[in-house]
Structure 1
Amino acid sequence: MVIAGAPTRYLGVNVGALAIGLAVLALLGRTLPLDRQWMGGATIAMAGALLATALMGNEVEGISRWVRLGGFALQPSLILLPVMIVAFSRSRSGVTTAGVIAAIAAIALQPDRAMAGMLVLGLATLAMIRRDRHSTAVLIASIAGFAVTLARADPLPAVPHVEQVLYSSFSVHVAAGLAVLGGLVLLLVPAIVGWRRDYGNRATYAAFGAVWFAAILAAAVGNYPTPIVGYGGSAIIGYALSLLALPKRAGVGASVVSRVRDEADGTLSDRHLFVGLA
């Protein structure tokens, strides 16, 4: 962003969002209860926030994806949808299913093709690994929601330093382009590490990877925010929240020795949650 001449305040917003994300991880990373009852209530609350955004958020040319807080525009879907999908992969129930379907309806109302595509890819990945009636129901709903977004107009142009960053960065300097590509690849590292080390929770890591791959793909093919490496705090906070929903331990179930060592020194339990923030 510096090489591309982005305004200084853009850098400040991103740094501030990173500080918020790190604070959330530090405060809630070890204490957040991820039981079914808590996840159900949280999913319903997040779906309500997305519906409120669709119905009462800031509207631009018929698109309602943002809310303004203290002069800053936030995109709640980028903050909430990733953690919703990852949490749903860990706890599928009638309540969480209803919450995700409500979120799908909210994204269709906004409309937001990028987030609708994120829902389809994340939920399809989950359904392929953990097929049950809940994952099948939300996948069908997500496909319908995505179809609605495709049928509705999305006339918003690209915003400098926010959208089309994959291409504009190379036009500025090859080093900037490589930095953008490298940063986007690093977003997927927690999914790769978890998939390799934690066989019992592969569905969750696959959903995490699919969600952020979908965000990257949307930024590559349309005028949608480039996560993390472009301007915008929503994706940065959303990435930290989605890390919270990952299992706290990776790879320790395969070996009793590894498990005992981890319990003794605590060096492994949360390490992979922070890999993507490095």
Structure 2
Amino acid sequence: MADLLCRALQFILPPRLRDWGLAIRYELAEIPDDTQALLFALASVRGLAPRALGQLLMHPFVALLGAAVRASRGFGALHGPRAVGALCAVGAVALGLVYMTVAGAPVRYLGVNAGALVLGLLLLALVSRIPEGAGRLSGALILGLSVLLLATALVGLRIEGISRWVKLGGVVVQPSLVLLPFMLAAFSRTRTPLATTGMVVAALAMALQPDRAMAAMMTATLTTVVATRADRLTCLALTASLLAFMVTLLRPDALPAAPFVDQVLLSSFAVHALAGLAVVAGSALLLVPVLIGGSYDEERRATSLAFGSAWLAASLAAAFGNSPTPVVGYGGSAILGYLLSLSALPRPASARGGPAIAPPDTSLASRDSHSKIALA
């Protein structure tokens, strides 16, 4: 009996630990008393079998994770918080699908969220190929995106006097949820006059739409930016966002809560405890990249904190008001916005590739091609 137990233990041990199993069998053979030998075998199984079984069960998931990491490296150096954020997005969307399935959402809703995840991952891979030397374009990019938000407020799809959406084919998209988190994270490290102008225009757009949740996101994130490094430009952007938030509080918001979209954090527990836990866990996953970015230097840590503040504010606004619940609720805009905003997070030092200059044998036009594509 003791010998059979030790042989079984040696069989389930990982290959690198099977010599320990063989040593246990040799030790067992030196014990003359059968009772003592059986007790020794039971103690060995009790000590090593749980860990060995755990590693056997985790092996398929470790292999999948390794494949995902290798794939992310092939998609333009997605390292550090970006890679972790992409995995967290996959997990949050999956948990959101669990919630919607338990809650009885239409199958089309599940397909929209899954499709947005795939499109967002491709978008993240493309934008992450832009060299960090293209940071001089960030101010112009922020300003250009803010003009799109302002155009949405003026000529976008209008419902009950509120204009937050655009219709692309048969799909309704909320541009502020897609673009604003990226703009805020990018502004935290590109505090130029051009970028500040973009923040002021974006605040005006939030006031005109009006969009209380996104104005709250702007205010919370810019408060974090000012707290990390206050200067005249960041204070100006924060003042504009505060004024926009006050305007949205004064203007009426008569839109009712949409099922599977608004107030999901609270209503999911009324559906089923499993659905509620899935929503809470998925919302918590959105903030995990901040933990990795917090280990960097002060400047890059500020960008990670701005990213976390934006998505925490969006989740809290969704919990207490009629605004979309990010990623775990129905809607592709937040999924696209989360994955796009990951591209603004800092790269690890090992992935930065030294100073942001073009190699001598690389033309400037070739180096900036990805930047021009992203700006377009």
For the criterion TM > 0.5, the same-fold answer is yes
Whole-Å separation in 1 of the counterparts to 2:337 and 2:193: 24
- The aligned residue for residue 61 of structure 1 is 160
Whole-Å separation in 2 of the counterparts to 1:142 and 1:199: 24
- The aligned residue for residue 184 of structure 1 is 283
State yes or no: 1:138 paired with 2:232: no
Q: Please provide the CA RMSD for this pair.
A: 1.5
Whole-Å separation in 1 of the counterparts to 2:320 and 2:295: 29
Give matches, 1:10-21, under 5 Å. 10-21=109-120
- The aligned residue for residue 198 of structure 2 is 99
5+ unaligned residues in a row in structure 2: which ranges? 1-99, 354-376
Matched position secondary structure for 1:86? helix
State yes or no: 1:73 paired with 2:138: no
Matched position secondary structure for 2:230? coil
Give matches, 1:1-278, under 5 Å. 1-33=100-132, 35-249=134-348, 252=349, 259=350
Whole-Å separation in 2 of the counterparts to 1:212 and 1:238: 10
Whole-Å separation in 2 of the counterparts to 1:199 and 1:39: 20
Q: Flag the 1:220–1:43 CA change in 2: closer, same or farther, 3 A.
A: same
- Aligned-residue offset at 1:19: 0.7
> Do the aligned partners of 2:207 and 2:215 also contact (CA within 8 Å) in 1?
yes
Matched position secondary structure for 1:3? helix
Whole-Å separation in 2 of the counterparts to 1:86 and 1:197: 15
Q: Identity, % of aligned pairs?
A: 55
Whole-Å separation in 1 of the counterparts to 2:217 and 2:278: 24
- Aligned-residue offset at 1:9: 0.6
Whole-Å separation in 2 of the counterparts to 1:42 and 1:218: 27
> Do the aligned partners of 2:213 and 2:323 also contact (CA within 8 Å) in 1?
yes
What TM-score do the two structures reach when normalised by structure 2?
A: 0.66
Residue-pair matches, total: 254
- Aligned-residue offset at 1:36: 4.0
Whole-Å separation in 2 of the counterparts to 1:106 and 1:155: 19
Aligned residue identity for 1:247: P
Aligned residue identity for 1:150: L
Whole-Å separation in 1 of the counterparts to 2:219 and 2:130: 30
Larger helix percent: 2
Whole-Å separation in 1 of the counterparts to 2:208 and 2:328: 28
Matched position secondary structure for 1:160? coil
- Aligned-residue offset at 1:38: 1.0
* Per-residue CA distance 1:41-72 (angstroms, 9 max, x = gap): 21111011101100000111110000011111
Larger radius of gyration: 2
> Do the aligned partners of 2:187 and 2:195 also contact (CA within 8 Å) in 1?
yes
What TM-score do the two structures reach when normalised by structure 1?
A: 0.88
